[in-house]
Amino acid sequence: MRIGLRLFLAFFLIVGVAAFFVMRVFVDEVKPGVRQALEATLVDSANTLAELAADDLKAGRIADGRFAQRVAQAHARDPQAQVWEVAKTSVDQEIVITDASGVVVYASTGRDLGRDNSRWNDVYRTLRGEYGARSTPRVPGADDDSVMHVAAPVRDPDDPSRLLGVLTLSQPNRSVEPFIVASQRSILARGAWLIGIAALIGIAMTWWLVHGIGGLNRYAQAVARGEPVPPPRPRRDEIGDLGQALEAMRRKLEGKAYVEQYVQSLTHEMKSPLAAIGGAAELLQEPLPDAERARFAGNILAQQRRLTETIDKLLALAEVEQHGWLQKRSAIAVGTLLAQAVDVLAPNGREVRVRCDAAVVAAVEVRGDPFLLRQALRNLVENAIAFSPAGGEVVVDASVEAGNVRLRVLDRGPGVPDYAQERVFERFYSLPRPDGGSRSSGLGLPFVREVARLHGGAVRLDNRDGGGAIATLSLPAA
């Protein structure tokens, strides 16, 4: 299982379990909470009604006196109330009054008159001077349809110490059930929103972590494959610190390996020129004719120039190879780029009687490092001039295909032998010049390949119909 899925499931499980138990507590507490509030309200109402009923109970007219009339009028009312989206159209409370012995002398419903209620908990406890209340099923056995009874003592208005009877105020629990259900539904709905929001937060956090870890993973895999890759984007957290640490480690390891590789390559390439210089220098120590002395001195100068060229190009190649990404980009007009390359190298071509021309191209741009692209194109043109016969022509043109700009350098030289097709872009690999001149350093085409890579493009060298070669540098159009 991937780490992103594990993180999300763990986060969602923790939040889900916590939300479940919290909602369970809230839902379970709604019903007793509402009933406790109902009981407190009944206590207040029962004591108020007990005071109002005291005069009629003392006078013996509780069944048909002013109190009974007002209660009957109240029960006949339609409150027309909309309580929390629940319509209330009747008065649900019932009143029962017993005398001092617990016998029912008044009931707002007219039932149970003369019944002995002295053993009911609400009446029994109130007659003993305690708080009396009970909750009993409306119908025996129907525990889900109960009625709450709260009693209050009815005392003599003239002698508060004398107990006249007990007033019991009752209200069906089902009258508050809609409010309980509405509260539970509201809690569940909000709980669902809570879990949903928590899930979204979990997804966002998981994506954020996995995105960072995935970037490091892709970066590490690219480094392991030896691919040039930009360092991870800086972040102000532990993942960012890890990315910077990996980049620092990569630079140190690659730098060490790079130095070792280039020391070996440079040492190998320097052996031949140094041997030639050493041999010529030994011969110059002996008496020689002037012509021979001049020839050996010229050989030393030629080998010195070869060494200098090799070192310069090696340094240029090392610089671009060490860049995992292009550090500077700007818009470059392709026509200007071609014209500059031809203008700079035209004198070299005239020395060997090779004409250099740049074809007129449409207004198109590429984005990249102007210096590196000029150097890359210059290397291709120099190669074409070096392999062109006297009186030949080197043409530089450009075209746009499928969103890519193709820069081409065409010559009429001997072309590329089949055996060299796969090796021309290797470091220090070079082909003999058609005029028998010394070989190049073999670093120009590898330099062009690295510049193409930095710009997200590619380079290739093919044979041209009718003889010659075509070097193609493809770059993404701006």
Give per-residue pLDDT as tens, 271-302: 656 766 777 777 777 787 877 777 777 777 77
pLDDT for position 254: 57
Q: Are 277 and 303 in contact (CB under 8 A)?
A: yes
Determine the straight-line distance between the first and last CA of the chain, rounded to whole angstroms: 42
Q: Are 166 and 126 in contact (CB under 8 A)?
A: yes
The whole-number average pLDDT for the span 47-76 is: 93
Domain boundary among 156, 182, 208: 182
pLDDT for position 50: 95
Q: Tokens 């109402």 appear where?
A: 45
Q: What DSSP letter does each residue of 48-77 carry, written as one string? A: HHHHHHHHHHHHT-TTTSHHHHHHHHHHT-
Determine the Cα–Cα distance for residues 191 and 351; give it in Å rounded to an integer.
86
pLDDT for position 165: 95
The whole-number average pLDDT for the span 91-107 is: 93
Residues 284 and 412 in one domain: no
Q: What is the DSSP letter of 160?
A: T
CATH no. for residue 265?
1.10.287.130
pLDDT for position 115: 93
Domain boundary among 304, 321, 338: 321
pLDDT for position 349: 64
pTM of the model: 0.44
Share of the chain above pLDDT 90, in %: 19
Instruction: State yes or no: pLDDT of 166 exceeds 90.
Output: yes
Residues 158 and 297 in one domain: no
pLDDT for position 114: 92
Instruction: State yes or no: pLDDT of 266 exceeds 80.
Output: no
pLDDT for position 82: 80
Residue 209 lies in a domain: no
Q: What would the 3-class secondary structure string for 111-127 be?
A: CCCCCECCCCHHHHHHH
How many domains does the chain divide into? 3
pLDDT for position 116: 94
Residues 339 and 471 in one domain: yes
Residues 376 and 287 in one domain: no
Residue 242 lies in a domain: no
Residues 308 and 413 in one domain: no
Residues 17 and 87 in one domain: yes
pLDDT for position 83: 78
pLDDT tens digits for range 112-123: 899 999 999 999
Residue 449 lies in a domain: yes
Residues 32 and 130 in one domain: yes
**Half-sphere exposure in the Cβ direction for 201 (13 Å, CA):** 11
Determine the Cα–Cα distance for residues 444 and 423; give it in Å rounded to an integer.
13
Residue 216 lies in a domain: no
Residue 217 lies in a domain: no
Determine the Cα–Cα distance for residues 16 and 12; give it in Å rounded to an integer.
6
Residue 347 lies in a domain: yes
Determine the Cα–Cα distance for residues 384 and 411; give it in Å rounded to an integer.
6
Helix then strand then coil, in percent of the chain rounded to 5, is 55, 20, 30
pLDDT tens digits for range 398-446: 888 878 888 888 888 888 888 888 888 887 777 877 766 566 667 778 8
Determine the Cα–Cα distance for residues 164 and 106; give it in Å rounded to an integer.
13
Residues 31 and 139 in one domain: yes
CATH no. for residue 129?
3.30.450.20
107: β partners: 96
CATH no. for residue 389?
3.30.565.10
Domain that holds residue 341: 330-476
Domain boundary among 163, 182, 201: 182
Residues 174 and 280 in one domain: no
Residue type, 104: V
Residue 131 lies in a domain: yes
**Half-sphere exposure in the Cβ direction for 328 (13 Å, CA):** 7
pLDDT for position 336: 83
Residues 288 and 369 in one domain: no
Residues 288 and 159 in one domain: no
Q: What DSSP letter does each residue of 4-26 carry, written as one string? A: HHHHHHHHHHHHHHHHHHHHHHH
pLDDT for position 120: 93
The whole-number average pLDDT for the span 229-256 is: 69
pLDDT for position 251: 65
Determine the Cα–Cα distance for residues 165 and 161; give it in Å rounded to an integer.
12
Nearest to 346 by CA among 333, 356, 338: 356
Cα angle 270-274-275, degrees, rounded to a multiple of 5: 115
Neighbours of 103 (CB within 10 A): 15
Cα angle 315-320-322, degrees, rounded to a multiple of 5: 90
Q: Which residue has the higher pLDDT, 181 or 330?
A: 330
Residue 258 lies in a domain: yes
Residues 66 and 111 in one domain: yes
